[in-house]
Chains A and B, each alone.
Chain A
Amino acid sequence: MKEITILSGKGGTGKTSITAALASVAENAVLCDSDVDAADLHLLLHPQKKEEHTFSGGWIVQIDQSKCTRCRACMEICRYAAIHFNQEGQLEINPYQCEGCRLCEKKCAAEAITSVRNNNNYWYVSETRFGIMVHAKMGPGEENSGKLVSKIRGRAKEIATDNNLQYIINDGPPGIGCAAISSLTGSHAVLIVTEPSKSALHDLKRLVELIAGFSLPAYAVINKYDIDLELSSEIESYLKDNTIPLLEKIPFTPDVVKAMIEGKTITEYKPDSEITKSIKKIWERIRY
């Protein structure tokens, strides 16, 4: 089995559009949307949910005002400065600053602090016209995106094994932080989708350095390459210097947005286009 993760560093380079297009030409693949923060793959693949699961996120920690003695022990021990006096003079925990370490709960002599699990995250196993898809919807402001990514990738792997499917195509998040690291760990190859801009090149360099730490084979695609030919060739030589094969250069076309509006992949929207040919070539390279 081979899991291919699509990353970009910079957001908006076209990860999801290319992932969906690859899904449409791949056979024997499980599809996974690891961009749980802002998952969009479902807008092109229209999954029919077969399983729905809740995922326990962080803790919601609260102070029982009838028990609190305002001794401030919790406030002093909290390293996230999440505990404040409110206007009524009561100690309160700001849920957005709290990281759920529960040290305050353990330190509270009055036993006024309790925690409950936040069950505001969901993940699904669905059917799509291109095969099984595993995806998630994270509650707003959640802090466990890395764990949720590990969860859905783990399930995608089980499904691939159980159904004897050869590939997992994994749409990754932007950036290089915990969500990107979670979607890289244990993958077999990375497809980088970049674009010709100074920002994208800067972000690409940081991503390549991250991937190098995982010793994974990486491939690259320059999307919208004709927006700036000069920067495209700069990116090309950077990739060459770092021995990352450049698989295809895809031109800018409003067709990608038009396909998105129709809820289709670009390969379905323009089956005979150059882009569709490029997508097929990319898949033939990364599948081996």
Chain B
Amino acid sequence: MPFKIAIASGKGGTGKTTVAVHLYWYLANKYSPNIKLVDCDVEEPNDIIFFPEAEINEEKAVFQDIPEIVLSQCSFCKKCAEYCEFNAIVVLPPAHFAEVNNSLCHSCGACLEACNDNAIIEKKEPVGSINYYRINRGNGIKEGILKIGSVMQTMMIRELKKSVSNKNEIIIFDAPPGTSCPVVETVADADYVILVTEPTPFGLYDLQLSVDLLNDMKKPFGVIINKAGLGDDQVYNYLRDEGITLLGEIPFSREYAVKYAKGELLDDIPDIIDEHLRIIAGELENRLIQYEGNNYFKW
């Protein structure tokens, strides 16, 4: 089974993508070429921007089963609407009206079970696509991209993860920001989670929310502080007081922000960043050995 690492953060823009693409690059070069990067930020996937040589290899549409009510068969008994926990079905018997609201439907199939008149059929609605890009290191990148206007981001993430082969030795999941269901879906089967934060009050507060979530889920995790030097030391104090592992730091520099802006993070990685990545990979290895116990994990 592959070793799965998820990169997450409560706050957006802390540097999840920066960490994900660097870690992919570093591990692919130094540890194992049998590694895949999976961009689970399906609302706004950005990993691919940092690999200008990436070639799209495969594009696969993802569909959601949306029920449709066949009015000629419908007895307007309302049982489907009663079964629907998401208030997605409206039935008005006097008006002979019955309709499913696509944007509220979770495709759970309850209405089909409810209907005794065979009046509900399912149709496939596109919710996005899964793209696979080949790059010149490692096994490449898979990204999920949500169709604009769709609210099915969690389903997209589920389908994206299902499509990733278990033959990879290491899989890196780049999570969306926040602490709600899409993040849960991304980290659900990760062996280890890296939380990326920044040393600011917003970064700290949202980090605490993410820590609560991961503790709830009983997930092992460590923290990387990005843009180190920009804010204050409250994040460091918090990590120390709570006994949370600090995996490493990426210092803030304006030149580095410019490289990020241009999508050139991986061109001529500065020595200082390379050194920080080495520390992070080493720390990660220590943690993994600790958690794996007898199954001593070696990169």
Contact = CB atoms under 8 A, between A and B. Distances in A.
Interface stretch (B90-98, B201-209, B236-244, B274-282): B201-209
Interface in B248-285: 254, 257-258, 260-263
Interface residues of B, number: 60
A89 interface: no
For B83, B206, B230, which residue has the most chain A Cβ atoms within 10 angstroms?
A: B206
A231 B261 CA distance: 8
Contacts of B49: 198-199, 202
Contact of B43 (A37, A106, A140, A176): A176
Given A175-B177, A227-B254, A79 B109 contact: yes
A101 interface: yes
Given A11-B13, A13-B13, A177-B151, A140 B213 contact: yes
A57 to B, nearest CB: 10
Main secondary structure of the interface of A (DSSP, over half): loop
Interface string A65-94: 000000000000101100000000000000
B180 A145 contact: yes
Interface string B215-236: 0110000000000001110000
Contacts of A173: 178
A234 B195 CA distance: 32
B36 interface: no
B260 A97 contact: no
Q: Which 4 A-B pairs have the closest CB atoms?
A: A12-B13, A11-B12, A101-B108, A37-B178
Given A101-B85, A252-B257, A261-B231, 9 more contacts: A10-B44, A37-B180, A96-B217, A145-B180, A178-B151, A179-B178, A198-B262, A199-B49, A202-B46
23 contacts: A10-B12, A12-B13, A37-B177, A38-B10, A38-B178, A38-B205, A38-B206, A43-B205, A79-B107, A100-B85, A140-B216, A141-B180, A141-B213, A143-B180, A176-B43, A179-B178, A197-B262, A198-B46, A206-B43, A209-B148, A210-B149, A231-B262, A261-B232
